[in-house]
């Protein structure tokens, strides 16, 4: 199949039929694909690198995780592209091509389980298997606008899966539908159907480390990075030194850095992992949930300078490593688009609370999407500043009574700085000491002003884009510009905000 029809998600396509059964199976009728890190009897597991594929024989057995979903009634349609040696969260692969992000085609899909996420996001399969060590399911789920689940560490067998860092490796999965996410999880985790337990508490990210007695720098990068590099070296150092594989930019540097790692301070790192686990249990208690952003920003543009990309990855790991270090389960939930880029949130629960978390997501998903939809409608990036200017009092019925309006950030309003679409302009000009007659006339006619709107810089464009304050989202065609220079005002009206 041509690359443009499968988004470059697949390494190889084939069929593995589900096990025959006289009973209705939980995954009957569903299709799936798996990351090229899982063994399937008779196929070479390529690990995202042609030198690896060339120097390893075909597998003689199939990974238990794949057997589990086949026994559950699902049909496998092939294996998907992974970042080389599963050692990148961008998802790029210079040998087999980078899968195209169906949500934002000019951005990276996230990795290392890039092909699996793309296959689900592009609706090529109902669900897909990946692995997550330091974010390899959660990041591509966020970037591709789908659900991604990292289970509790050791909850699902990783036999028949090429190891990366055994202290953190997990088998994860993607889906578009929370019901399917739950059903797949119950098969993989061998969970019975259970009644929903309400969360006892939900803690927002900013409170997390304030409530913990473990300092941030003992929980995050130093811990996982040291263990990650050392175990990667133990698993694959001999092969890398012998074969000297051709590796892509960014990945090559990380791999060779890992090979220089020693076991110094490794015992301390494992001790801190135990401390982090205990501290988060104390924090969440039974059936508590921690809510955090999945990542710290939108996906990078394709072929971004590796140095810039590496800096972003380091900052993002501060969130991803909470689950990795503690062994807790985490789900990434898409919240739609902001400025035409995918946004997500993650929920974490304590080790072994996978069934609780899966049920919670299935139950809350529609409500969460509805609430987020309301929030999106409240702004669309249209407003520079929100405030209320009440209409002039009158004993008579006024022609604009009951109507609301907003003003372009070009009109003076007494007490507010008129920004002219540019922060340097706003910084170098004082607040207005009077209100523009056009605004005053609407207030006198009974209308209520609810704020000022974004505009092009210095009103000097008809595109409607603004690099400083963001481009208001066109509610009619979200992937198109809103037009300018009165972009925010037009969006506010079209989105029924005024």
How high is the pLDDT of residue 338? 77
Whole-number Å distance between alpha carbons of 409 and 417: 9
Whole-number Å distance between alpha carbons of 72 and 69: 5
- Tell me the longest C-alpha to C-alpha distance in the chain: 90
Beta bridge partners of 290: 203, 348
The answer to whether 118 touches 11, Cβ cutoff 8 Å, is no
Residues noted as catalytic:
35, 112, 136
Q: Look up the CATH superfamily of 3-377.
A: Amidase signature (AS) domain (3.90.1300.10)
How high is the pLDDT of residue 321? 86
pTM of the predicted model as reported, rounded to 2 decimal places: 0.73
Examine residue 485 and say whether the peptide bond preceding it is cis (omega within 30 degrees of 0): yes
Close Cβ partners of 23 (under 8 Å, ≥ 6 residues apart): none
Tokens (6 digits) for 43? 């196929």
> What are the residue boundaries of the structural domains of the chain, listed by start?
3-377, 383-494
**What count of other Cβ atoms lies within 10 Å of the Cβ of residue 426?**
16
HSE of 106 in the Cβ direction (CA atoms, 13 Å)? 4
How high is the pLDDT of residue 211? 35
Distances (CA, A) of 63 to 38, 68, 160: 6, 9, 4
How high is the pLDDT of residue 210? 40
Whole-number Å distance between alpha carbons of 480 and 491: 12
The Cα angle at residue 401 between residues 396 and 406, in degrees rounded to 5: 145
Handedness of CA 68, 69, 71, 75 (dihedral sign): negative
The answer to whether 420 touches 458, Cβ cutoff 8 Å, is yes
* Average pLDDT per 10 consecutive residues for the chain, totaling 498 residues: 73 93 90 99 98 98 98 98 95 96 93 98 97 97 97 98 96 98 97 71 53 40 70 90 90 86 73 77 85 87 73 75 92 86 91 94 81 57 82 80 90 92 88 93 90 87 82 82 91 85
């Amino acid at each position: 199949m041509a690359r443009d029809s499968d988004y470059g998600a697949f390494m190889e396509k084939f069929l593995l039929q589900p096990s025959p059964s006289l009973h209705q199976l939980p995954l009957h009728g569903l299709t799936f694909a798996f990351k090229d890190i899982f063994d399937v009897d008779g196929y070479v597991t390529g690990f995202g690198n042609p030198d690896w594929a060339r120097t390893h024989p075909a597998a003689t057995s199939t990974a238990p995780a794949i057997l589990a979903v086949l026994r559950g009634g699902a049909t496998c349609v092939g294996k998907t592209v992974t970042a080389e040696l599963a050692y990148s969260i961008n998802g790029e692969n210079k040998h087999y091509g980078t899968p195209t992000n169906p949500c934002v085609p000019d951005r990276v899909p996230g990795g290392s389980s890039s092909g699996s996420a793309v296959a689900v996001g592009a609706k090529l399969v109902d669900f897909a298997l990946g692995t997550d060590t330091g974010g390899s399911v959660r990041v591509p789920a966020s970037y591709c606008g789908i659900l991604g689940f990292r289970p509790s560490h050791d909850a699902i067998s990783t036999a028949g899966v090429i190891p990366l860092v055994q202290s953190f490796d997990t088998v994860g999965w993607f889906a578009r539908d929370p019901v399917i996410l739950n059903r797949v999880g119950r098969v993989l985790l061998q969970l019975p159907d259970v009644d929903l337990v309400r969360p006892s508490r939900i803690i927002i990210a900013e409170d997390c480390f304030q409530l913990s007695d473990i300092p941030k720098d003992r929980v995050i990068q130093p811990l996982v990075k040291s263990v990650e590099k050392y175990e990667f070296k133990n698993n694959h150092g001999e092969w890398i030194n012998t074969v000297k594989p051709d590796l892509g930019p960014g990945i090559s540097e990380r791999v060779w850095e890992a090979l220089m790692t020693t076991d110094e301070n490794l015992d301390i790192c494992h001790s801190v992992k135990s401390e982090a686990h205990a501290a988060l249990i104390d924090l969440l208690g039974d059936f508590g949930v921690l809510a955090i952003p999945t990542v710290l920003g939108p996906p990078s543009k394709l072929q971004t300078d590796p140095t810039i990309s590496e800096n972003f990855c380091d900052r993002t790991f501060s969130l991803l490593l909470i689950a990795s270090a503690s062994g807790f389960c985490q789900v990434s939930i898409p919240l739609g688009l902001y400025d035409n880029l995918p946004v997500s949130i993650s929920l974490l629960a304590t080790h072994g609370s996978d069934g609780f978390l899966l049920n919670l997501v299935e139950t809350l998903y529609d409500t969460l999407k509805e609430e987020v939809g309301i929030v999106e409608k409240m702004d669309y990036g249209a407003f520079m500043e929100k405030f209320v200017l009440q209409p002039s009092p009158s004993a008579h019925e006024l022609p604009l009574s009951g109507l609301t309006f907003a003003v372009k950030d070009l009109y003076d309003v007494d007490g507010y700085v008129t920004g002219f679409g540019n922060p340097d302009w706003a910084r170098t000009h004082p607040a207005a000491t009077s209100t523009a007659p056009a605004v005053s006339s609407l207030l006198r006619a009974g209308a209520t002003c609810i704020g000022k709107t974004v505009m092009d810089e210095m009103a000097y464009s008809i595109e409607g884009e603004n690099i400083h304050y963001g481009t208001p989202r066109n509610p009619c065609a979200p992937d198109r510009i809103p037009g300018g220079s009165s972009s925010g005002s037009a969006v506010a009206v079209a989105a029924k905000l005024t």
